[in-house]
Amino acid sequence: RLAAGTTRFCAGIVSTARHVSIELKMADYSNKLYQQLEQETGVKTGYVKTGSISLAQTQDRLISLRRIASSLNVMGIPCEIITPKQVAQLHPLINIHDLVGAMYVPEDALVSSANVSLALATAASRNGVQIHERTSVSHVTVQKGRVTGVETDRGQIQCQYFVNCAGQWAYELGHSGEELINIPLHACEHFYLLTHPLKEPLANNLPTIVDPDGRIYIRNWQGGILSGGFEKNPKPLFTEGRNQLEIHNLQEDWDHFEPLLSALLRRMPDLEALQIMQLVNCPESFTPDMRCIMGESPTVRGYFVLAGMNSAGISYGGGAGKYLAEWMVNGYPSENVWPLDLKRFGTLQSSRTFLRHRVMEVMPLMCDLKVPRWDFQTGRQLRTSPLYDRLDAQGARWMEKHGFERVKYFVPPGKDLLDLDQSKTFYKPDWFDIVGSEVKCCKEAVCVIDMSSFTKFEISSTGDQALESLQYLFSNDLDVPVGHVVHTGMLNEKGGYENDCSIARLSKRSFFMISPTDQQVHCWAWLKNRLPNDSNLTMEDVTWKYTALNLIGPRAVDVLSELSYAPMTPEHFPSLFCKEMSVGYANGIRVMSITHTGEPGFMLYIPIEYALHVYNEVMNMGQKYGIRNAGYYALRSLRIEKFFAFWGQDLDAFTTPMECGREFQVKLEKGMEFVGQEALLEQKQNGVYKRFTMFILEDHDADRDLWPWWGEPIFRNGHYVGKTTSSAYSYTLERHVCLGFVHHFDEKTGEQLVVTTDFINQGEYEIDIAGQRFQAKAKLYPFSSLFTHRRRKDEVELSGCQGE
């Protein structure tokens, strides 16, 4: 039945106050869509523009709200930060004594979610869509990796495309066919309260209240209130499958609701005398990273998914539908939806135990403060390097990417950091000095970083097939002498980065490809779908076979040459070179003269059984050169101050090499056609509409001011021109560095114009961090003085693709 799932019980709040920019865009589209829906379809949707107020009980919360306010404002969505007094004027019942401020979004709305669905269905039917209600899908039929039809209890239906938007049933439906589609989501009980009307019924245009510190939301409902929340101790359900067939209102659990009820009465003490109507318990589905899931399955073409709304389905519904429709019709959506792409997950996130534990963490997080550098605590230690225990014993602190544990930094013995909860901050973090000393060691001596999480593929063929296919799929020229490493983009038809990787030519006919950790599923699917179906051409995922150690620093040369009895100086081992050699007793170590940071050094790809040996040898030998362990935070600081873009953070499918100063990684005249060539040629002729730029914050005090993160609006001569994509403190410059894209909007029409080098260089820039603007200096090229070795320009390694 339509809207019979969680939609039927949805609270119907349409709110654009979102942290992630793509979610914000979806919510904005939904809001505008619902507004005109009644007029278009004649179906009453109950749309009321009430506005919403998000309350802050702490200064940190207010900072968080200010950040959202900044991004809403530059998108043209009205929004303001207001004082507690103004809150009281907007809503009569609120107790404001414990508030420090609030954010008011006047255009947020309320709808009846079931009626919105009905209106959408009506509109669809008018355009020829057939809707079969009360029909159950038993499975999806697949032939040769493509969807061919759907088997239902009322017979077969032929189709080319299938969209699994079965909400909390999506996981099971994905597992029902022969070809498993992993859709990692898990249901949790969600409670909200309905009351009878007040003596003096509440107006139906009263703003919705969100009190994240109290973990609750409150909206007016038929003269009374509707209030629910996201408790600290959620109750996950249906872990073992056996989901109910039709959604029912589950058992009410008042004891469980008690903390939320206390928060409600604290916020609105006058409600004490209000009569209870019902406590509704409707399951909601949550995903492992709090973002919804959409896109095409990596294994079955034509199988699309849209599910896991993390209880914001009504806010995202309209926008998500739009992007998915574009995706199905055009082959790609009109915005970068990588943060929501199904392919960011693999099979490893589909364990029911993992999902159960993770959603228990995710649901309370809905209300928790979103601070920079936050890591999930559940579902950890799944994929680890063989060196995990060794590093852990030396004080490693860990973060996780795609299930892989990676070191953030090493806490020196005798030094303690703050507890997890207390370490949450928007200001200078407690590890500042620790990372500083790791960076210093990378610059002056040598550091070793375990970077085993990278996705590693080997592509080889009997003849020239591998080279030919890769030349077509990658923008740089891969027909290089054996032993050379090439940084290259894997572009789409529009010239945008689908992946950014380093490829080593191991032999005439085989290549070793290194991509970011979370590319494991996406890149595999992309290549699988495009490589010719030729049994003489093989591609293997060898991620698990190698441990990767990054030796960074001027003394890396000395350590490695002592261990291998081979000269490693630039004359013998030039930059961007790859060679199998022995290190210690171990033979067959792939040594590459890249470090992903622009610092001198080497990457060592070690067959895992030698990992411990090589690590021990390196550490022993390195002692006299002052070697130490370092983590990804140091790496990040190094790569950002060198202006290295990183795929997934700075680069996405809508960014071309031309737009980020990487023309030198594109060989337009390599003698054969490649994907995205046309688009790049056009850009080369006509110029680009955005430009990747580096900003150095001028009047920013790292000790006292809020730190930049990413997503901060950039202003040029007072006008909004784009957003930052990443930032880090540069210990060398002793300044914050932000990377981001600069657009050129026509002042009158808002139309996008070509961005020229002059345009970038001739502006005065400011970066807006939670409402406070800091002056910034824009640069299009990194500081050359930072380089210790001068190299020819095209030899300069500008990758950084494998950053965080």
Partner 1 sequence: FYLTPPQVNSILKANEYSFKVPEFDGKNVSSVLGFDSNQLPANAPIEDRRSAATCLQTRGMLLGVFDGHAGCACAQAVSERLFYYIAVSLLPHETLLEIENAVESGRALLPILQWHKHPNDYFSKEASKLYFNSLRTYWQELIDLNSGETTDVKEALINAFKRLDNDISLEAQVGDPNSFLNYLVLRVAFSGATACVAHVDGVDLHIANTGDSRAMLGVQEEDGSWSAVNLSYDHNAQNEHEVKRVKMEHPKSEEKSLVKQDRLLGLLMPFRAFGDVKFKWSIELQKRVVESGPDQLNDNEYTKFIPPNYHTPPYLTAEPEVIHHRLRPQDKFLVLATDGLWETMHRQDVARIVGEYLTGVHHQQPIAVGGYKVTLGQMHGLLTERRARISSVFEDQNAATHLIRHAVGNNEFGTVDHERLSKMLSLPEELARMYRDDITIIVVQFNSHVIGACQNEE
- In the complex, the residues that contact partner 1 under the rule CB under 8 A are 193, 195, 251-255, 257-258, 261-262, 264-265, 271-276, 278-279
CA distance 345 to 703: 37
Shortest spacing between CB 68 and partner 1, in angstroms:
30
> 623 CB contacts (<8 Å, ≥6 apart)?
none
Distance CA(23)–CA(68), nearest Å, equals 12
Q: How far is the CB of 377 from partner 1 (least distance, A)?
A: 25
Q: What is the dihedral of CA 428, 434, 440, 442, to 10 degrees?
A: -120
Structure tokens given for 21: 């920019």
Q: Least CB distance from residue 257 to partner 1, whole Å?
A: 8
State the Cα–Cα distance between residues 256 and 671, nearest whole angstrom. Answer: 68
Distances (CA, A) of 259 to 233, 281, 359: 10, 15, 20
Q: Which residue has the tokens 């959603």?
A: 359
Other CB atoms within 10 Å distance of the CB of residue 64: 22
3 state SS for 577-637: EEEEEEECCEEEEEEECCCCCCCCEEEEEEEHHHHHHHHHHHHHHHHHHCCEECCHHHHHH
Query: Minimum Å distance from CB 744 to partner 1?
Result: 55
CA distance 703 to 426: 11
Our measurement of the distance from residue 671's CA atom to the centroid of its chain's CA atoms, rounded to an integer in Å, reads 36
Q: Least distance in Å: CB of 258 to partner 1?
A: 4
> Which CB, 225 or 340, lies closer to partner 1?
225
- Looking at the Cβ atoms of 255 and 416, the one nearer to partner 1 is 255
| 226 membership: H or E segment, kind and range | strand 224-229
Nearer to partner 1, 11 or 114 (CB): 11
For partner 1, give the closer residue by CB, 75 or 280.
Answer: 280
Q: How far is the CB of 276 from partner 1 (least distance, A)?
A: 5
Smallest separation, CB 261 to partner 1 (Å): 5
Name which of 245 and 273 has its Cβ closer to partner 1.
273
Q: Is residue 765 within 8 Å of 695, Cβ to Cβ?
A: yes
Residue 277 or 786 with smaller CB distance to partner 1: 277
Of 710, 704, 628, give the one whose Cα is nearest residue 434: 628
Q: Which is nearer to partner 1, 229 or 379 (CB)?
A: 229
Please report how close the Cβ of residue 279 comes to partner 1 at its closest, in angstroms: 7
Residue nearer to partner 1 on the CB measure, 252 or 701: 252
Nearer to partner 1, 154 or 248 (CB): 248
**Which residue's CB is nearer to partner 1, number 258 or number 464?**
258
> Among 167, 39, 113, 76, which Cα is nearest to 315's?
113
Residue 130 or residue 251: which is nearer to partner 1 going by CB? Answer: 251
- In the complex, the smallest distance separating the C-beta of residue 198 from partner 1, rounded to whole angstroms, is 11
Q: Residue 131 contacts by C-beta under 8 Å, 6 or more apart in sequence?
A: 2, 121, 124, 125
Question: Order of strands, edge to edge, in the sheet holding 52-56?
Answer: 80-82, 101-105, 52-56, 208-211, 216-221, 224-229, 191-195
Provide the H-helix boundaries in 687-778: 757-761
- Which tokens in the block code for residue 522? 């996406």
Of 212 and 224, CB closest to partner 1: 224
Residue closer to partner 1 (CB basis): 224 or 321: 224
DSSP state of 344: G
Minimum distance from residue 422 beta carbon to partner 1 (Å) = 24
- Single-letter code of the amino acid located at 241: G
CA atoms in the 13 A half-sphere facing the CB of 198: 17
Our CB check for partner 1 shows the closer of 161 and 254 to be 254
The pair of three-digit structure tokens given for residue 376, joined into one six-digit string = 């999930």
Rounded-to-integer distance, Cα 500 and Cα 663, Å: 14
Between 232 and 777, CB nearer to partner 1? 232
Contact, 193 vs 261, CB < 8 A?
yes
Q: Are 435 and 446 in contact (CB under 8 A)?
A: no
Retrieve residue 368's tokens. Answer: 């928790």
| Rounded least distance, CB 254 to partner 1, Å | 5
Give the nearer residue to partner 1 in terms of CB position, either 96 or 265.
265
How many Å apart are CA 66 and CA 103, to the nearest integer? 8
CA 38 to chain centre: 35
**DSSP secondary structure of 355-409:** HHHHHHHHHHHTTS---TT----SS-SSB--TTHHHHHHTTEEEEEETTEEEEEE
Q: Are 613 and 586 in contact (CB under 8 A)?
A: yes
Q: Give the nearest distance from C-beta 271 to partner 1 in angstroms.
A: 5
Q: Taking the complex as a whole, how short is the minimal distance between the CB of residue 34 and partner 1, in angstroms?
A: 30
- Tell me how far, at minimum, the Cβ of 237 lies from partner 1, in Å: 16
Nearer to partner 1, 127 or 275 (CB): 275
Q: Which residues does residue 719 pair with via DSSP β-bridges, in sequence order? A: 716
Dihedral sign of CA atoms 782, 788, 789, 790 in order:
positive
Identify the residue whose tokens are 């802050």.
56
User: Which two structure tokens, joined as six digits, stand for 4?
Assistant: 């019979």
In the bound complex, what is the minimum distance in angstroms from residue 226's beta carbon to partner 1? 13
Smallest gap from residue 732 Cβ to partner 1 (A): 53
Instruction: Tell me the closest approach of the beta carbon of residue 262 to partner 1, in angstroms.
Output: 7
